[in-house]
Amino acid sequence: MSTIAERMAAAGAGAAIELRGVTRLFGALAALTDITLSVRPGERRAVLGSNGAGKTTLLNCVTGDFPPTSGTVRFFGEDVTILPPHERIRRGLRRTYQISLLFQRLTVRENVYLACRGVSRGRFSFLRTRAGEAIMQSVADLIALVHLENVADRLVGELAHGQQRQLEIALALAGAPRFILFDEPAAGLSPTERGDLVAILTALPSHIGYIIIEHDMDVALRVVESVTMMHNGRIFKEGAPAEIETDPEVQRLYLGGGHG
Amino acid sequence: MALTETSTPSIAAPRGGALSRWVSRHAAILLLGLILVLLPAVANEFLLDQIVGWSLALGMIALSLMFLAGYGGMVSLAQMTIAGVAGYMVAVLGASSLPTISLFWPWWVATPLAIAIAVVFGTLSGALSARTEGIYTIMITLAIAAAFFYLTLQNWPIFNGFNGFTTIPAPHFWGVNWRAPVPLYYLILFFAASSYGAVVYISRAPFGLALQGVRDNPRRMEAIGYNVAAHRVAAHAFAALIAAIGGVLLVWLNNQISPFSISFERVIDVLVIAVVGGLGHPIGAFVGAIIYVILRTFALDALLAVGLDGRRFQTIIGLGFLLIVLFSPDGVIGLWRRWSARLRANGGSRRL
């Protein structure tokens, strides 16, 4: 039997996401270099940086879409570095994609249903789901949450871009998420939809933490408590939103324009 | 479709109303089923077994491809080969005209075992191709088909080389001689209808929906908790079961199996049948099969009648394939769907 202290230590001092020395190479190109990052459970963190800074690659390393070349990734203390993506999802990790990855030839309801089924039992079931089953209520709730009730039975391929972005978010909220990675969720949303997005993010239960990549600073800085700045595959600054906004180096590299 | 059907449970509609709506929604397939059941009353043995029976058995093999390709996005050219494995095993384990090879085990051992062996074979080929996509899946399954064809052609101790097996009787049980034309027809009809119903049902069950998710976006399926490779392998196993039963029925119907039953031509025929019929719905496999069987049976005579070489029937099939692929990539059922959608003003978006 391990002591509580040992288990605490094994749990990466209670971090939800912990990266140690993560490097990701694409051929000779280092998309990420020696990233060490720790996010507490329930913490809301923005990852900012110019294009090519390695933000999306960072998310891909956490989810396992592209595992790191070296270094370790821990999820709530468990080493998930070589775990396939679906195993991480079943442990409570979720993500959205910068370019919507949806099931174009299925309906909105079927898309959300698949996401709910993916994190529950019966993924291989040969029996149809009955209307009264609890999962159908979760599906309806998620559809309502992202305001897609009117198009719930339309094929996703027929939806407007903004609606597809909303669905993208719904898929990441299925089941009981413990930590969510949002990759530019506001991209392509109208101002109203951005307001809805901010409302959804702030209304998430406080135990659900997330990392958000977002170019829209109005969205990003309103929904997080901490910020990680990346440049050329490295982290160069971490702090509270207010510090980051006023940091001269950040202004030069990111807000000021000089993309180098 | 059905997910939405079941999810909006016809909110508290009276039972009778639900039944009548179910009947009217499935009117076409119920009518077709009725015709097929009553067919032996009017049809002769030739029409019964050599046209309809053959179409249904062949349709099952095409259905297994439709399931993989239409729902899973996996074009497998090994489905005829899986059917062939089952057919060969029935001849080897059961009875044939070759007492030196056949083991003459009772049918209730030989037949299920033959199907089980074919399912294992199909599952293993699925496992080989599950991590590939698109043209690579086609290449791997084609290689499997080629390997098994040459194995049967060159192996004499088990497969009896290019002679294959003849006199492979359907069993005799429940006091029925299933060799006789009408019982054999009903046997085939039963399994064809069951596999059709199973595919239609499963397409809206979690397993089938997840398979369509894998088709549309395998990466996202991983990112919502599905083991994509395992799902693909399971789909291959299920498709192999349908193909294997179809293969056994085909052997009982033709009373023989040889390497030429599973040659490249036959392998490609299954692809042509599935595509001509349409990969969008399970019925397409049977539509394609009946068209193919009618062409194969009558094109020769028709060509001779207009003074052409009868052997050109393959050219007709080829031209038909070309026309369908060019003008209706979703096959004959795609044509039918578009026509009926045009008739109905607004409906048809998610029907059939």
- Nearest residue on chain A to B213, alpha-carbon basis: A103
**CB–CB contact A89 B222 (8 Å):** yes
Q: Which pLDDT value is given to residue A2?
A: 52
Statement: residue B180 has pLDDT above 90:
no
Mean pLDDT of chain A: 88
Give residue-wise pLDDT tens across range A127-163: 898 888 899 999 999 999 999 999 999 999 999 988 9
Q: Which pLDDT value is given to residue A10?
A: 52
Please state which of the ranges A6-10, A153-157, A256-260 shows the lowest mean pLDDT. A256-260
CB atoms within 10 A of CB B310: 12
Q: Where are the domains of chain A?
A: 1-92+177-260, 104-175
- Nearest residue on chain B to A128, alpha-carbon basis: B205
Domain extent for B183 = 42-263
Give residue-wise pLDDT tens across range B182-215: 899 999 999 999 999 999 999 999 999 999 999 9
B332 touches B276 (CB < 8 A): yes
Closest CA to A115 of A160, A156, A168: A168
Q: Which pLDDT value is given to residue A119?
A: 93
Does B283 reside within a domain?
no
Does B217 reside within a domain?
yes
Please list every residue in chain A whose beta carbon sits closer than 8 Å to the beta carbon of residue B6.
Answer: 128-131
Give residue-wise pLDDT tens across range A85-110: 999 999 999 999 988 899 999 999 99
The Cα–Cα gap between A194 and A216 comes to 10
Give residue-wise pLDDT tens across range B69-96: 999 999 999 999 999 999 999 999 988 8
Please list every residue in chain A whose beta carbon sits closer than 8 Å to the beta carbon of residue B7.
Answer: 109, 129, 131, 136, 139-140
HSE (side-chain half, CA atoms, 13 Å) at B278: 18
* For helices B228-254 and B206-216, angle between their N-to-C axes, nearest 10 degrees: 110
Partner-chain residue, chosen from B3, B223, B234, that has the shortest CB–CB distance to A110: B3
- Residue type at B10 in one-letter notation: S
Please list every residue in chain B whose beta carbon sits closer than 8 Å to the beta carbon of residue A123.
Answer: 206-207, 210, 225-226, 231
Query: How many separate domains does chain B show?
Result: 1
What distance in Å separates residue B258's CA from the closest CA in chain A? 35
Partner-chain residue, chosen from B7, B224, B228, that has the shortest CB–CB distance to A114: B224
Partner-chain residue, chosen from A115, A126, A139, that has the shortest CB–CB distance to B224: A115
Mean pLDDT of chain B: 87
Does B256 reside within a domain?
yes
Beta pairing class for A226-231 and A234-239: antiparallel
Please list every residue in chain B whose beta carbon sits closer than 8 Å to the beta carbon of residue A125.
Answer: 205-207
Q: Does domain A1-92+177-260 have CATH number 3.90.550.50?
A: no
The Cα–Cα gap between B30 and A3 comes to 67
**CB–CB contact B6 A130 (8 Å):** yes
Partner-chain residue, chosen from B206, B212, B221, that has the shortest CB–CB distance to A122: B206
Best residue of A56, A83, A86, A182 to probe chain B, by most B CBs closer than 10 Å: A86
**CB–CB contact A107 B350 (8 Å):** yes
Partner-chain residue, chosen from A105, A128, A153, that has the shortest CB–CB distance to B212: A105
Please list every residue in chain B whose beta carbon sits closer than 8 Å to the beta carbon of residue A105.
Answer: 212, 215-216
- Residue type at B101 in one-letter notation: I
Please list every residue in chain A whose beta carbon sits closer than 8 Å to the beta carbon of residue B203.
Answer: none
Partner-chain residue, chosen from B222, B224, B234, that has the shortest CB–CB distance to A84: B222
What distance in Å separates residue A63's CA from the closest CA in chain B? 8
Question: Tokens 């980051």 belong to which residue?
Answer: A244
B254 touches B266 (CB < 8 A): no
Written as six digits, the tokens of B158 are 């088990």
Q: Which pLDDT value is given to residue A245?
A: 80
What distance in Å separates residue A203's CA from the closest CA in chain B? 22
What distance in Å separates residue A256's CA from the closest CA in chain B? 35
Interface size, chain A vs chain B, as Cβ–Cβ contacts under 8 Å: 127
pLDDT band at B100 (very low <50, low <70, confident <90, very high): confident
CB atoms within 10 A of CB B23: 10
Does B103 reside within a domain?
yes
ipTM for this model: 0.88
- Nearest residue on chain A to B70, alpha-carbon basis: A105
Does B17 reside within a domain?
no
Please list every residue in chain A whose beta carbon sits closer than 8 Å to the beta carbon of residue B226.
Answer: 86, 114, 118, 123
Statement: residue A252 has pLDDT above 80:
no
Please list every residue in chain A whose beta carbon sits closer than 8 Å to the beta carbon of residue B350.
Answer: 107, 153, 155
What distance in Å separates residue B101's CA from the closest CA in chain A? 39
Burial class of residue B261 in the structure, from the number of CB atoms within 10 Å of its CB (0-12 exposed, 13-18 middle, 19+ buried)? buried
The Cα–Cα gap between B208 and B72 comes to 8
3-class SS letters over chain B: CHHHHHHCCCCCCCHHHHHHHHHHHCHHHHHHHHHHHHHHHHCCHHHHHHHHHHHHHHHHHHHHHHHHHHHCCCCCCCHHHHHHHHHHHHHHHCCCCCCCCCCCCCHHHHHHHHHHHHHHHHHHHHHHHCCCCCHHHHHHHHHHHHHHHHHHHHCCCCCCHHHCEECCCCCEECCEECCCHHHHHHHHHHHHHHHHHHHHHHHCCHHHHHHHHHHHCHHHHHHCCCCHHHHHHHHHHHHHHHHHHHHHHHHHHHCEECHHHCCHHHHHHHHHHHHHHCCCCCHHHHHHHHHHHHHHHHHHHHHHHCCCCHHHHHHHHHHHHHHHHHHCCCHHHHHHHHHHHHHCCCCCCCCC
Partner-chain residue, chosen from B3, B217, B226, that has the shortest CB–CB distance to A123: B226
